[in-house]
């Protein structure tokens, strides 16, 4: 728990509130804090001072094993359901567990879960557009397919949607390096998938995504591009603003925070987002710091 006690725009107090190895997903609702790692979802009661109770309820303990993508992101949607993103175990193999490369929907009363969407290689960042209440997310494309393909994707995530992985990417672009799926062709598989809405440079590695819920930027979204590790000319290493129109449709993008990449020199890796009423927090996990961008 980070606290700005004297309101000078800098955190000057840090309190350790939980011990949970591998925790990545964090969300809160109705005076409870929810944390998840690659296998479990825990719930802690929140005290009035913001600290957490020592005892935790284990709500889920059998999420798919992490493999290549062990980070799990979760949040409550406008419908009150809990959504958990589960990335693929490997780079582009056919998954043996039907819950990998998916978005899960969890009933917070029974804690039973269903597949909400599939074919999502690793949609770590997702959120709901404030005007339409529709889910959007940024997906990581596969590796080892060249410097320029496949692109990273912005997807409109709908119940029952299949977004192509591992046989297709972007706007139903077939991965010709793969064998046909059992009982179908790659082209046949791709024809029934949901195409991406916007595409971005390959290997930029989207890792966080959030909408502005208020203020002059309401309805637009920010995405953290963590940055490429296997590209001849690096891509990503910045925070980008994705513009949405009044009907909740994306219209383009522009740089929001840069300077982490100059030429081929890399100075940081944007990793996390928190958007407040008058400030945007961006974490940099290469340097272990958090930036505060105050809105004017």
Give the span between the Cα atoms of 7 and 267, in whole angstroms: 28
Average pLDDT for the chain: 94
The tens digit of pLDDT for each residue in 233-253 reads 999 999 999 999 999 999 999
Higher pLDDT: 9 or 126? It is: 126
The answer to whether residue 277 scores a pLDDT higher than 80 is: yes
Could you report the per-residue pLDDT of 29-38, keeping only the tens digit for each?
Answer: 999 999 999 9
Residue 94 has pLDDT above 80, yes or no: no
Q: Mind listing the pLDDT tens digit for each residue in 167-182?
A: 999 999 999 988 898 8
Which pLDDT score is estimated for 83? Answer: 98
- For residue range 132-156, what is the model confidence (pLDDT) as tens digits? 999 999 999 988 888 889 999 999 9
Q: SS3 for 160?
A: coil
Identify the bridge partners of residue 282 per DSSP, sorted by sequence position. Answer: 273, 291
Position 281 scores a pLDDT of 95
* Tokens at 82, concatenated: 């809990």
pTM, rounded to two decimals = 0.95
Q: Which tokens belong to 196? A: 């991406």
| Comparison of pLDDT for 65 and 134, the residue scoring more | 134
Relative to beta strand 25-29, strand 173-174 is unpaired
The pLDDT, as a whole number, for residue 65 is 84
């Amino acid at each position: 728990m980070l606290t700005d006690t004297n309101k000078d725009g800098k955190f000057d107090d840090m309190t350790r509130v939980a011990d949970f190895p591998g925790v990545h997903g964090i969300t809160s609702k109705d005076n409870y804090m929810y944390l998840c790692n690659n296998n479990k979802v825990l719930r802690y009661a929140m005290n009035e001072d913001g600290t957490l109770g020592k005892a935790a309820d284990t709500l889920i303990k059998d999420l798919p094993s992490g493999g290549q993508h062990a980070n799990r992101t979760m949040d409550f949607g406008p419908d009150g359901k809990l959504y958990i993103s589960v990335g693929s175990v490997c780079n582009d193999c056919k998954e043996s567990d039907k819950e990998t490369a998916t978005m899960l929907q969890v009933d917070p009363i029974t804690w039973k879960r269903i597949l909400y969407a599939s074919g999502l290689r690793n949609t770590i960042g997702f959120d709901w557009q404030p005007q339409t209440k529709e889910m959007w997310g940024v997906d990581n494309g596969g590796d080892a397919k060249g410097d320029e393909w496949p692109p990273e994707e912005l997807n409109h995530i709908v119940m029952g949607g299949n977004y192509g992985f591992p046989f297709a990417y972007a706007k139903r672009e077939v991965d010709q390096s793969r064998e046909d799926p059992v009982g179908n062709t790659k082209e046949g598989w791709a024809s029934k998938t949901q195409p991406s809405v916007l595409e971005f440079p390959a290997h930029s590695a989207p890792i966080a995504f959030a909408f502005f819920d208020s203020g002059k930027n309401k309805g637009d979204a920010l995405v953290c591009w963590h940055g490429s590790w296997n590209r001849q000319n690096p891509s990503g290493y910045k925070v980008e603003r994705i513009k949405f129109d009044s009907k909740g449709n994306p219209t383009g993008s522009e740089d929001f925070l840069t300077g982490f990449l100059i030429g081929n020199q890399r100075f940081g890796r944007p990793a996390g987002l928190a958007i407040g009423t008058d400030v945007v927090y961006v974490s940099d996990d290469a340097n272990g710091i958090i930036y505060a961008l105050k809105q004017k």
